[in-house]
């Protein structure tokens, strides 16, 4: 009767099951009996056992320094702080750009007013025409700048999102300016 491969103690299949600790109690008993009488299997088994012990007692993987977690947390916190700082700086830059654009607009307005006053002083005849022209130019200038200013203010609000206090202030400021110019125009 040919021996079943799974029962052949010299087959790879059997050795795999031995190494996987996959033998039944009966098979284990027969295996120990076989080892006692078969020198070839006994020597091979002892060699495998030595390798197994070697692997078990091999140097453990390098231990992480005790402060590793603490340092990692600190680094992450630092990165978050940096990101917050960067978003704050971006907000400041946007605020500065909006203020700068507003400044240009204000300069233009001031120059227009000065021109209007000069017109009043130089000639009563062209007074009305010059004043109206100045007002028209002033209104046009403000209207040209308004979309840009509102766009920048909106971008600022988006960037500063949970702490959009500054952007809100800018927005309120421009709303007030717009209502002022609406009153003058």
Q: Which is nearer to Zn ion, 41 or 116 (CB)?
A: 41
Considering only residues 5 through 44, tell me which ones interact with Zn ion, judged by CB under 5 A.
Answer: 38, 41
User: How far apart are the C-alpha atoms of 163 and 165, rounded to whole Å?
Assistant: 6
Q: Which is nearer to Zn ion, 30 or 133 (CB)?
A: 30
CB atoms within 10 A of CB 46: 10
CB atoms within 10 A of CB 77: 10
Q: Which is nearer to Zn ion, 44 or 137 (CB)?
A: 44
- By CB under 5 A, residue 153 contacts Zn ion: no
Q: Which is nearer to Zn ion, 41 or 160 (CB)?
A: 41
**CB 62, min distance to Zn ion, A:** 41
3-state SS, one letter per residue, for 70-93: HHHHHHHHHHHHHHHHHHHHHHHH
**CB 41, min distance to Zn ion, A:** 3
User: How far apart are the C-alpha atoms of 100 and 106, rounded to whole Å?
Assistant: 10
Report how many residues bind Zn ion under the rule CB under 5 A: 2
**CB 71, min distance to Zn ion, A:** 55
**CB 48, min distance to Zn ion, A:** 13
For the chain, the distance separating the N- and C-terminal CA atoms, rounded to the nearest angstrom, is 113
Choose among 43, 6, 40, 2: nearest CA to 23.
Answer: 6
Which two tokens mark 24?
């039944």
Q: Which is nearer to Zn ion, 32 or 80 (CB)?
A: 32
21: left (phi over 0), alpha (psi -120 to 50) or beta: left
CB atoms within 10 A of CB 94: 21
Considering only residues 80 through 109, tell me which ones interact with Zn ion, judged by CB under 5 A.
Answer: none
Q: Which is nearer to Zn ion, 41 or 98 (CB)?
A: 41
**CB 56, min distance to Zn ion, A:** 25
**CB 55, min distance to Zn ion, A:** 24
CB atoms within 10 A of CB 179: 9
For binding to Zn ion (CB under 5 A), which residues are involved? 38, 41
């Amino acid at each position: 009767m040919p021996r079943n491969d799974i029962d052949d103690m010299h087959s790879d299949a059997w050795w795999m099951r031995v190494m996987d600790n996959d033998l039944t109690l009966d098979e284990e008993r027969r295996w120990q009996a076989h080892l006692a009488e078969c020198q070839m299997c006994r020597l091979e088994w002892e060699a495998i056992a030595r390798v197994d012990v070697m692997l078990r007692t091999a140097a453990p993987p390098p231990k992480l320094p005790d402060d590793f977690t603490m340092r990692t947390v600190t680094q992450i916190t630092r990165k978050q702080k940096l990101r917050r700082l960067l978003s704050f700086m971006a907000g400041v830059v946007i605020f500065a750009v909006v203020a700068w654009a507003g400044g240009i607009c204000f300069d233009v307005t001031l120059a227009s007013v000065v021109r209007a006053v000069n017109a009043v002083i130089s000639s009563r005849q062209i007074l009305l025409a010059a004043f109206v022209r100045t007002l028209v130019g002033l209104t046009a200038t403000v209207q040209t700048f308004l979309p840009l200013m509102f766009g920048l203010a909106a971008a600022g609000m988006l960037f500063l999102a949970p702490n959009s206090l500054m952007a809100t202030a800018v927005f309120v400021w421009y709303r007030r300016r717009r209502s002022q110019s609406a009153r003058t125009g």
